[in-house]
Amino acid sequence: MGSTSGRITRREFVAASAAGVVAGSLARATWAAGLEQSAARGPFRVIIDTDPGVDDALALLLAMRSPELKIEGITPVAGNVPLELTLPNALRMVEIAGRTDIPVAAGAKAPLVRRLITAAQVHGENGLGGAVFPEPTTKPIAEPAAEFIRNTVRKHPGEVTLITIGPLTNIATALNSDSELAGLVPRLVMMGGSLSGGNVTPAAEFNIYVDPEAARVVFQSGIPITMVGLDVTRKTSLTEDHVRTLQAGQNAVSQAAAKIARNAIDHTRAQGFLIGPNMHDSLALAAFLDPSILKWKEYYVDVETAGELTAGETVGYSPTAGDDQRRPELAKQAAMAMQIRGSAPTLASTKTSAIVRDKFVPNTNVAVDVDSARFFDLLIGRLAGKT
């Protein structure tokens, strides 16, 4: 994890992260207990890494309307649109919410080793579905995002949860710069990935697709990860009723959210889609606020970085997934014996084994189902000022 180039080999990943993954597994019970009690305790220190983006913007507004959170900072990154737009969009959201006390630190303009692919066709050329707001007067802090993340985590070791709702370039850059940093992060809540197919390619979800090398750094880091991916976010379509509720809200946040939501729905319908847009990033934020909204299953998750057609695919390994179910008394034994396999070596390869890890150790709690009605009660209720 000490490399700063981002060009990390599979062997370096496995060697550097083995101890971290085991440590993450040992911390799982504490992590789960913390999630279940999150509504009762706090406020929780968080950094929100984001690429606003329609659903990012609503997620940021939700975060700033949530007293459970102590937002240490917001770190925009290039993703849905270039950094030249995600940065001012983040600044606009803190101004709309009246939270200019929150530091905003500019992040990466491009992925670690790839050219930037954006999603302007989904989020509009300005990233907010075409909704226009005044230019922000608030300025970002001078400290770059990766440095801000590193310094904030070190200032509050074991206290700062990373909520990532964009490509993971900023997080990976911070981790690559400090080999001890991962051990100081209690958990990372991510909107990203999918175990049921992608939305940019048949294999890859957008946030992971944009910077799969960065995602691999994060998944291999040993930080306990909560993955809120397309498996559940596809069930969170924004509706006309939601927009009307937001429009009726008598506060600046609700009115701004209604404007963004209205434009996002119109933009989606203009492209011929019958439903949507989906509130991917807001669901990840809600998952931290109230994890009981979702159902969870533990996996060992890794990221494909070499595939010509599958780069950015998140691959989930589990001894209890699939159709072949075991008797309960043998399930634990199967988990202990399960090997993590990669692709079989070719005749021309110098590799001698397809085994990536010799035993199954989960590194990720993956959301596998969601109560969409409860999610929207939380999201729309808080944005509209009802809760």
Q: Annotated active-site positions, please?
A: 280
Reference 64, options 83, 48, 84; nearest CA is 48
Q: Which residues pair with 317 in a beta bridge?
A: 300
Amino acid letter at 278? N
Dig out the tokens for 340 from the structure: 């993590």
Reference 375, options 62, 38, 30, 6; nearest CA is 62
Q: Which residue has the tokens 């509209």?
A: 384
The DSSP code sequence of 77-132 is: -SSSS-HHHHHHHHHHHHHHTT-TTS-BB---SS-SSS-----HHHH-TTSSTT--
Q: Which residue has the tokens 């034994």?
A: 333
User: Prior bond to 53 cis, omega within 30?
Assistant: yes
Q: What are the E-state strand segments in the chain? A: 44-50, 69-76, 160-165, 188-191, 225-228, 294-303, 314-317, 340-341, 355-357, 364-370
Q: Is the dihedral of CA 381, 385, 386, 387 positive or negative?
A: positive
CA distances from 142 to 145, 224, 316 (A): 9, 30, 39
Q: Which residues pair with 75 in a beta bridge?
A: 49
